[in-house]
Structure 1
Amino acid sequence: MSTLPVYEAEADFNYPPAGKPLKTWYKITGDLKTSRATPLIILHGGPGVGSSAYNVLADLTSAYSIPIIQYDQVGCGRSTHLREKQSAGIEFWNDNIFVSELESLIAHLGLTQYDVLGHSWGAMFGSRFAAKQPKGLRRYIIMSSAPSLTLWTDTQNKLRRTLPQDIQDTMDKCEKEGTTDSQEYQAAMGFYYSQFLCRLDPMPEEILQSLGLLEEDPTVYSTMWGPSEFYVSGTLKDWSVVDEVHKITVPTLLLNGRYDEAQDSAMIEFFTRLPHAKWVQFAASSHMAQFEERARYMEIVGRWLTS
């Protein structure tokens, strides 16, 4: 079996509000120059969990010759961190920095045609980007996301009420006392994640590695989101792209899992407002179908992108 070409580098990202030069770390699997397939840019979740949970998408390169472009968004992983901006408000911590970073990376790579896959948070700012009808965007994939934080948190709280009562009680107690960084709260969240984030046991190392970045530098997540999936107190609390979804005119594929954090109630406003949409659900998956139903996931995404 031949080894896929992999290229890693940094791209300059000029974003004046940051007050310093920024770098975006990225990785390309496959060959942008020789492949006839349109490259696929991956927008990772979080915010702030990094790109390693999407390494498995190299399967698309092997099977369909699709070049995969992964990158760590600024504020996490191998890209420039922004700890000094923790006290900055919504004027800085909004989706514009991430849309601008994506636009900068596309320009850096000289892409004239590309596809985009946004997962969870990645599909939130990715939808803002796609609604601008950027030149070169051919197809768009929305995976396990929501077009507003209200829809997202409503869904999370419905799922929360399905958990064992002792888990719910622990969450309630810690949130009331402000001890969401405690070990007992994290253990309760660990149970939640085992039901609705990834149902594989053990959880794949690449997912754990991505989640570990939140502990290494919680700046982006804690500032924009808050203490947990259920309690969005950061700058994104009123975020919505609902009124812009209809502007996404390229063919769009919606993906979610039966046990997903992104239940149908979170995704439906995408489907009803998109002009050209197809929706596929993975019956045995939660939030990480690329691992939980890997073969079927790659077949559905690969065929849709190359059809």
Structure 2
Amino acid sequence: MTVTEGYASFQGFRTWYKIVGDSAGDKLPLLVVNGGPGCPHDYMADLEALAAEDGRALIFYDQLGCGRSDHPDDPGLWVIDTFVRELAAVRTALGLDRVHLLGHSFGAQVALEYVLTRPPGLATLTLAGPIADAPAYEAEARRLMESLPPEERTAIGRREPGADMAFYRRWLCRLDPWPEYVVEAFTGMSRDVYGTMWGGHEWELTGNLKGWTVMDRLGGLDPDLPVLVTSGRHDLTTPALVRPLAEAVPGAEWVLFEESAHLPFVEEPEHYRAVLASFLRRSEAVSGPRAASPRPLSPSR
């Protein structure tokens, strides 16, 4: 499988990217915006197999401030608009005139803000484990944390080393043990970026994303843009959070992965890739009206 790496120029800095597969192939490429903020892309490595399975190129990049991209010492950069403009810069640098777009978690926030600008040439939008309303997400994450056994909540409250893993092993990734590439990605997070934008914990939103929402702006999405929403049954982005988003996007398809938390492309990788590939192929082959209202689906394997 062909792999190409390089850097895109962005505001005088370098954003590292990787292209997996043949970008000159017959199928449209998929541009992936991973979560965080401040996390490198590596935890999404299982998606790379889609290049061979579906014959399309996948483009990943490390957002500014983390991974292989430049790490500027400027807290003023750590606002969502920076990452929206970075996404546009990567797309321009790679000449992605027509492309599929996938955003996961914080990457879905970036993707939504980007798509709401109505950029031309988007073939589809996939929102994986999406956050559309930060205050609602914070409240739901707090509810999940408070459902932990008392001894685990006490350890978290005392900020004991590793105590937060009781939360993340239930609602981020349920595999035991976690794959090494997932461990490396999350231990490699930029705490400066995460802390500035989000805060200390998932359930303590103290950063500049506090109050962020697009729920009142979803009517501005292109009604002809095919949208796939994916999430896990045991996800940080619980079905109670995802349903209002899916219902607010005309024609959106919502697929719920029953055995997964926040990383179904890691926890159910073959199933996830099959669902995603089917959506991309159908969207390329067929145009016209789509279903009027979403429902959670659990397709057969």
Corresponding residue to 1:56 among 33, 42, 46: 46
Contact 1:49 1:76 in 2 (8 A): yes
Listed as ranges, the gaps of 5+ residues in structure 1 are 15-20, 175-179
Shift of residue 44, structure 1, vs aligned partner:
0.7
Stretch deviating more after TM superposition (97-106 or 186-195) = 186-195
Q: Could you tell me how far apart the structure 2 residues matched to 1:244 and 1:78 are? A: 33
Question: What's the counterpart of residue 17 of structure 1?
Answer: none
Q: Deviations over 1:22-56 (max 9, x none)?
A: 110000001111x1111111111110111111121
Contact 2:124 2:227 in 1 (8 A): yes
Question: What's the counterpart of residue 288 of structure 2?
Answer: none
The answer to whether 1:273 aligns with 2:248 is yes
The answer to whether 1:236 aligns with 2:225 is no
Contact 2:47 2:269 in 1 (8 A): no
The answer to whether 1:202 aligns with 2:177 is yes
Question: What's the counterpart of residue 17 of structure 2?
Answer: 26
Name the count of aligned residue pairs: 280
Corresponding residue to 2:78 among 63, 86, 93: 93
Q: Could you tell me how far apart the structure 1 residues matched to 2:86 and 2:251 are? A: 26
Q: Could you tell me how far apart the structure 2 residues matched to 1:45 and 1:210 are? A: 11
Q: Could you tell me how far apart the structure 1 residues matched to 2:143 and 2:58 are? A: 35
Question: What's the counterpart of residue 76 of structure 1?
Answer: 66
The answer to whether 1:5 aligns with 2:2 is yes
Question: What's the counterpart of residue 264 of structure 1?
Answer: 239
Question: What's the counterpart of residue 269 of structure 2?
Answer: 294
User: Which consecutive aligned stretches of 4+ in structure 1 deviate over 4 angstroms post-superposition?
Assistant: none
Question: What's the counterpart of residue 111 of structure 1?
Answer: 96
Q: Deviations over 1:174-229 (max 9, x none)?
A: 3xxxxx4xxx1x42211111111111111011111110112xx3111011111111
Contact 1:99 1:126 in 2 (8 A): yes
Shift of residue 108, structure 1, vs aligned partner:
0.5
Q: Could you tell me how far apart the structure 2 residues matched to 1:247 and 1:63 are? A: 34
Contact 2:35 2:107 in 1 (8 A): yes
The answer to whether 1:143 aligns with 2:161 is no
TM-score normalised according to structure 1 size: 0.88
Question: What's the counterpart of residue 150 of structure 2?
Answer: 165
Partner amino acid, structure 1, of 2:142:
N
Stretch deviating more after TM superposition (245-254 or 139-148) = 245-254
Shift of residue 276, structure 1, vs aligned partner:
2.2
Q: Could you tell me how far apart the structure 2 residues matched to 1:187 and 1:77 are? A: 22
Shift of residue 288, structure 1, vs aligned partner:
0.8
The answer to whether 1:283 aligns with 2:261 is no
Question: What's the counterpart of residue 177 of structure 1?
Answer: none
